[in-house]
Structure formats: C-alpha cells, structure tokens
Amino acid sequence: MPFQPVVLATDGLLFLLLGLIVGAIWRARGSLPVRRAWREVGRSRAGMASATLLLAFLAIGVLDSLHYRPLLKPTQAGDAPVYSAEVLSALDATLANLRARVERTYSAPLATRSYAKETVEGDSGSIAREYPRLQFAGAQLADPDRDRGLDVRERLLTGAGLGLGAGLIACLVLGSIVGRQEHPGWLPRWGAILLGRTAMRWRAAMVTWVGLSVVVGALVAVAPVYHVFGTDKVGQDVLYLTLKSVRTALVIGTLTTLVLLPVALALGVLAGYLGGWVDDVIQYVYTVLNSIPGVLLIAAAVLMMQGLIDRHPDWFSTAAERADARLLALCCILGLTSWTGLARLLRGEALKLRELEYVQAARAFGVSTPRILLRHILPNVMHIVLIAVVMDFSGLVLAEAVLSYVGIGVDPNTISFGTMINAARMELAREPMVWWSLAAAFVFMFVLVLSANLFADAVRDAFDPRRG
C-alpha cells in the first residue's frame, strides 16, 4: 500500500459531527415545521449565497482531514515497508506543487524576484547587491522582467474563462435537477430561476458558485508557476498556508460545539425546569465562571494542558498527533468556558415551557421528569440551540485567531489564521514591509466569518418563533 491511513482525534470527531448533521437533516425530513423553517432559510438570497461559500470551505476542510503517512522508498529489495513520520493530508497531495515550491525567503505576490536584496557574484567575478531571481516563480520565462505581465494576464484570463465555463456547466446540471415539481418545463424552470421566482433562491447560489469558479479557475491557472500571494520568511507559498488554515478554523468552530452543547443543554434545561436549589447551584456555577476573565481562564487551562503534553512525549508517535492533541485540548477548553451564555438562554426558555398547559397536564398524569424533559422540553428549545450554535461559529473562529496571536492558541506547528497573523506581526515592522501574509489570512478569514454570519442571520430569522 503506497500510504498508511492516519485518523487523528480531530479527524474522527469532525467526521462524527458531519455524520450527526447528516442524520439530523435526514430526520428533519419527517418534521413539517422544521422543513418549513429550512425552506425559509432557502428563500434568503444571503443565506443561499453564504451556504455555497461555506460548503466550499467545508470541502477544503474535509480534504485536509483525510490524513496518511506516505510510503518511503526501500533501501534494498525485499525490505519491509517503512512509512514516513510526516503526516500528510489529501489537501497536501492536491497542492503538492505549491507545497514543494519553497523559495529562499520573502517574495511578493506574482513576483519573479526575491523581495530582499542579496549579494550576488557576477560572471566576471564582480560582487553586486541585487534582487535575485526566484527558483520556481516564473521559471518558464526567458526574460521575466519583460514577459511576466503578459504571461500573468494570459493565464488569469484563460483560467477565469475555464472556471466560468465549468461553473456554468455545473449550474446547468443543477438547474435540470431542482424545481421540477414547481416548473415541469425546461424553459419555464430556467425563466423562474433567472428571475428569482423559485421557492429556493437558486439564482443567488448559482451566481455565487459561478463567481467562485472564476476565482478558482484563475488561481489554478496561475498558482502552478507563480506565488499568487507571495511567500513567507522561509519561502513557503502563502496561498498553501492560507488553504491549510481553513481546517483549523473549521475544527475550532465546530468541534467546540460537541463540548459546549451537552453541558449547556443539561445544566440550562435542568436549572429552568427543576428550579429550587438545583437552579441556585447552576446559576452560582456559571456566575462564578463569568466573573473570571475569559482570556485568563483559557490561558491558564491551555498552559496546564501544554505542560501535560510536554511531560508525556511518549503519548504521541508523530509531531502531527502532538499538535492535534493541543488543538483538541483548545476545543475542549473553549467549550468548557463558553457554555454559560447558551445555558442562560435555555434556562429562561425552560422556565417558560414548564408553565405551559401540556407540561402541567403531563405532570398531573404522573409522567416522570426525564420523560417530560425528553418529550416536551428539549424539542421545544432546539431552535435556540441551533441559532446559538450557528451564530457562535464565527466568534470561535475569531477567538482562535486572537488566542494564537497572543501565543496561547494552537501548536506553533499547526497552520492557522492566528499563527499566520502572529508571524506577520514582525513582518509589518520591517522595511520594506511584508504585508501579503496578513492580507491573505485576513481576506480568507473575513470571507469565512462573513459567510457564517450571513448564514446565521438567515437561520435565526427562519427558526425564531417571534418572527412575523
């Protein structure tokens, strides 16, 4: 076998969460109110456009979560297979060209020469200070100073054109599938899609998809021969680092939910329904937690976990497993320190629900408390859970960036938006200023967070029972 599959802890949990989401969607098909609410999400142009972008980010994250260890070449015939200690992912294999093209140091976006002057010895033995030519970027050009602009434009236009064609073909396939019941005919169906008169706003999703296809096509055409976003201090391609950061953001934003939800659900619902001393104890717990500065609490917990990991290096067979353990620990810490807001909301909703007539009737007929909680309380607070989880995603992504910036976030070997921004802190102070690492991380994180916020707004408007 040319590789050995590796399942990191965060990989397993991420796929478990995706399975739970798929199961919830399948079960929601049998609930008319839930289907009606999700149709409301689909009627939102912003919701459909942001969902399309989030699916693209999710695809990157899933690819980067399929890990393996490549097989090393045997030194002698008949040797037992030996696998590399380096753990790679399917995204690394897809971006092998970007990953392998490492320059000596900084280079600007789409540049063919280094960003810093170096001492170069001429053919006649003379010494000069100049900007040396990059080893990989623009290597196909005989005269990069003269031909680079034309070559970049041609590649951008060709890639954008191919991306546009691929995007339109995908839209044609999607248009032939959706809306058959509403508009059986091909021409009326496409007329309704183009005019935005379908029940689901497919036009917004298609326009977003076509725009995304154009951008991806342009990147695919240019990235193999140029560094689109330049290179960092050690010559790594910034586009590669930015794409690798997407998985870390998704893991932080989603796996934290697995820790946060059970605690918030259990304590919030029990406090609101049971009341009395149970409510007092739970309120005391989350009041104490809220009184401690969040950053200090997270920093203390992260440093304790880091000390534990450092004292037991034998627990991890590869550096990737060690970095993954710290990432998982950060998810757990964020979840255990951020459940109080959702618990308070669920407590208030449970206080209201326990006074409703059908709950009072169940109690009068002697229905047990666990059965009332499972059958009558929990189903009626799930809209709050869904809204809170979706809206908290962007906050968790930003929290990772801030924590990694101050040095208490993910492992330094883990590529993330926070570690990129932290590395760019010193780059902005040098002369000439290196701005592209920060700009690339900012643009990708901005698009991810904006998409999550827009989708969260659509979900909130659809599931909020107070909507008009």
d(CA 253, CA 256): 6
Q: Which residue has the higher pLDDT, 61 or 407?
A: 61
Residues in Cβ contact with 16 at an 8 Å cutoff, skipping those fewer than 6 apart: 258
Residue 411's pLDDT is 83
Output the CA–CA distances (angstroms, integers) from residue 307 to 142, 294, 314, 329, in the order listed. 54, 20, 14, 12
Residue 320's pLDDT is 85
R_g of the chain computed on alpha carbons: 26
Contact (Cβ atoms closer than 8 angstroms) between residue 250 and residue 58: yes
Q: Which residue has the higher pLDDT, 215 or 116?
A: 215
- Assess whether pLDDT exceeds 80 at residue 1: no
Average pLDDT score over the chain = 85
Q: pLDDT tens digits for 34-57? A: 788 888 888 888 889 999 999 999
- Assess whether pLDDT exceeds 90 at residue 374: no
Q: What is the dihedral of CA 153, 158, 162, 163, to 10 degrees?
A: -10
Residue 123's pLDDT is 67
Q: pLDDT tens digits for 262-311? A: 899 999 999 988 888 888 999 888 888 888 887 788 888 888 888 888 88
Which band of pLDDT confidence, cut at 50, 70 and 90, is reported for residue 237? very high
d(CA 171, CA 51): 16
Residue 367's pLDDT is 85
Contact (Cβ atoms closer than 8 angstroms) between residue 87 and residue 320: yes
Strand bridging mode 118-121 / 67-70: unpaired
Mean pLDDT of 156-175: 91
Mean pLDDT of 383-405: 83
Residue 303's pLDDT is 81
Sheet holding 88-89, edge to edge: 3-6, 67-70, 88-89
CA 12 to chain centre: 16
Give 206's Cβ-side CA count (13 Å radius): 21
Residue 290's pLDDT is 82
Residue 54's pLDDT is 93
Which band of pLDDT confidence, cut at 50, 70 and 90, is reported for residue 184? low
Residue 162's pLDDT is 95
Tokens of 343: 């618990």
Q: pLDDT tens digits for 198-235? A: 778 888 889 999 999 999 999 999 999 999 999 988 88
Q: Give rounded-to-5 percent helix, strand, coil for the chain.
A: 65, 5, 30
Give the highest mean pLDDT range of 10-24, 56-70, 352-366. 56-70
Output the CA–CA distances (angstroms, integers) from residue 407 to 14, 253, 390, 401, in the order listed. 25, 19, 27, 10
Residue 29's pLDDT is 77
Q: pLDDT tens digits for 94-111? A: 999 989 888 888 888 988
Which band of pLDDT confidence, cut at 50, 70 and 90, is reported for residue 253? confident
pLDDT above 90 as % of the chain: 21
pLDDT above 70 as % of the chain: 95
Q: What is the dihedral of CA 206, 212, 217, 223, to 10 degrees?
A: -170
Contact (Cβ atoms closer than 8 angstroms) between residue 377 and residue 354: yes
**Cβ-count burial 312-341 (b if 16+ within 10 Å, e if not):** eeeeeebebebbbbbbbbbbbbbbbbbbbe
> Does pTM surpass 0.85?
yes
Which band of pLDDT confidence, cut at 50, 70 and 90, is reported for residue 186? low
Mean pLDDT of 438-450: 91
